């Protein structure tokens, strides 16, 4: 720059003054004023004590309920023997057999007394721009085939939970190629069922309070589960619901509590599976969530959690060595609930022909619970995305 040093210095001072006025103030990290999001978790409603395993075995043998197989294993973790039942046919003795269990999707329209309506069959461009919750569920890898590869190993064209089950028992099924499957088939969707929730048992809340989208319903599970068992399921018998089927009750942005339907306290149960009566009727209630207020969840993650647990613990009574202090569990738990130790941990996204990428939850393998070493799972893994690299430690 030409000119005398005095002129240059004056110009530099002037430019500095102009910049200090025009430049934006430096960004300062602001502490979030949003309240902590409610805790997401899952439950199981075990079969009542009045129905014995011998009764269940007799019902399975006569095809009066869904097909199940029994296992017995001695865990090297504690040296104890454990016995349980799973859905389908045994991968240990009948590895080349495919089993289909009819599934019935039941869309539930929740009508709260405060005016909130939550409808999985309705459009919601703001929170679910990809489509209706029901349509996206029907087109998801819970019910449709996708090709699943885990750690470079192709476990086959399968529904997600079927792929998980194949991978969990991979040492026993890989030699059969693509011939061992446990699938939800055929799949039927019934007309929507509208449920009016008493004011004491349900309420509508703003998801925006927690930085989410739209509204979220909360409902007392202690009101809902007796209602679904005593009223809804009997009403659907004429439509094909029976103990030989798996009914899945589909919510949209509705979660459950154990008591007062508030987003605080005992909230928020995103789904559960249960078994009731005799012959045993297994069933599940799941939320298709687009509120985005829960970490590590979305679209079919809840359904993948519950269908996976239904397949490996259909009666809710399969015992394991004590495990815990992981996933949703604080303290110790001793059942074969394959979703609970990985609650909030997603499997890699699954792109489907409809153009949508789904987000199943990662699930724990059989060998993780019983501390088999090496694991009989694919790649000697202990979960279907290798989050678990060893069997569970004993919880005290």
**Per residue, what are the HEC states of 306-338?**
HHHHHHHCCCCCCEEEEEEEECCEEEEEEECCC
| Per-domain boundaries in the chain | 38-380
User: DSSP label at 361?
Assistant: B
Per-residue pLDDT, 33: 66
Q: Which residues on adjacent β-strands are paired with residue 211?
A: none
Residue 164 in contact with residue 182, Cβ under 8 Å?
no
| pLDDT of 340 strictly over 80 | yes
| pLDDT of 126 strictly over 80 | yes
| pLDDT of 94 strictly over 80 | no
Contacts of residue 139, Cβ cutoff 8 Å, sequence gap at least 6: 352, 353, 354, 356
- Model confidence, pTM: 0.91
Model confidence pLDDT, tens digit, residues 355-368: 999 999 999 999 99
């Amino acid at each position: 720059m030409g000119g005398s040093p005095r002129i240059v210095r004056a110009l530099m001072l002037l430019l500095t003054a102009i910049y200090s006025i025009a430049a934006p103030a430096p960004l300062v990290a602001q502490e979030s004023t949003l309240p902590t999001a409610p805790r997401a978790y899952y439950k199981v409603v075990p079969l009542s004590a009045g129905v014995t395993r011998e009764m269940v075995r007799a019902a399975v043998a006569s095809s009066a309920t869904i097909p199940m197989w029994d296992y017995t294993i001695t865990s090297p973790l504690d040296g104890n023997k454990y016995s349980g039942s799973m859905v389908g046919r045994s991968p240990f003795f009948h590895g080349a057999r495919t089993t289909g269990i009819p599934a019935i999707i039941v869309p539930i329209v929740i009508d709260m007394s405060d005016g909130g309506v939550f409808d999985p069959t309705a459009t919601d461009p703001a929170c679910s721009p990809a489509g209706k919750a029901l349509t996206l569920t029907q087109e998801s890898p819970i019910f449709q085939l996708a090709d699943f590869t885990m750690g470079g190993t192709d476990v086959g064209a399968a529904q997600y939970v079927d792929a998980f089950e194949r991978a969990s028992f991979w040492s026993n099924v890989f030699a059969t190629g693509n011939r061992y499957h446990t699938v939800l088939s055929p799949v039927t969707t019934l007309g929507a069922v509208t449920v009016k929730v008493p004011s004491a048992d349900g309420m509508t809340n703003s998801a925006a309070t927690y930085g989410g989208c739209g509204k979220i319903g909360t409902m007392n599970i202690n009101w809902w589960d007796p209602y679904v068992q005593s009223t809804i399921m009997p009403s659907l018998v004429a439509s094909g619901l029976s103990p030989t089927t798996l009914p899945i009750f589909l919510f949209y942005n509705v979660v459950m509590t154990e008591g007062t339907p508030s987003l605080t306290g005992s909230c928020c149960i995103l789904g559960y599976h249960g078994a009731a009566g005799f012959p045993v009727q297994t069933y599940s209630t799941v939320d298709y969530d687009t509120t985005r207020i829960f970490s590590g969840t979305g679209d079919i993650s809840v359904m993948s959690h519950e269908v996976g647990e239904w397949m490996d613990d259909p009666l809710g009574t399969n015992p394991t060595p004590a495990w815990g202090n992981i996933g949703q569990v604080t303290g110790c738990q001793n059942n074969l609930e394959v979703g609970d130790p990985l609650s909030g941990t997603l499997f890699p996204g699954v792109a489907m022909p409809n153009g949508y990428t789904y987000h199943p939850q990662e699930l724990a393998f059989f060998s993780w619970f019983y501390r088999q070493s090496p694991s009989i799972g694919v790649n000697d893994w202990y979960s279907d995305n290798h989050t678990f690299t060893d069997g569970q430690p004993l919880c005290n």
